[in-house]
Structure 1
């Protein structure tokens, strides 16, 4: 029987890099586009 212990990694070690926060940008741009689209729909529907 081998005496192997499971590795314990930190969050940074587990993802092996940095997080560039692209998700925040994508969500922000998407939200802005949806607001503009609804504003155009309301403006045209009048």
Structure 2
């Protein structure tokens, strides 16, 4: 358990490293993967139409 001192919160290294991944991480990965697929497809369509 974190120890509260005047003006500071004291945590062990294990407590300080623990965090939950936020839903924004999933949104970021989804958006970046989608763009990684979409942009090369658009470039191929624009410049290499057959």
Output the TM-score relative to the length of structure 2.
0.51
RMSD: 2.6
- Runs (5+) with no aligned partner, structure 1: none
Q: Give the equivalent residue in structure 2 for 1:4.
A: 6
Higher-strand-fraction structure:
2
| Higher relative contact order, chain-length normalized (CA < 8 Å, sep 6+) | 2
TM-score, length-scaled by structure 1? 0.54
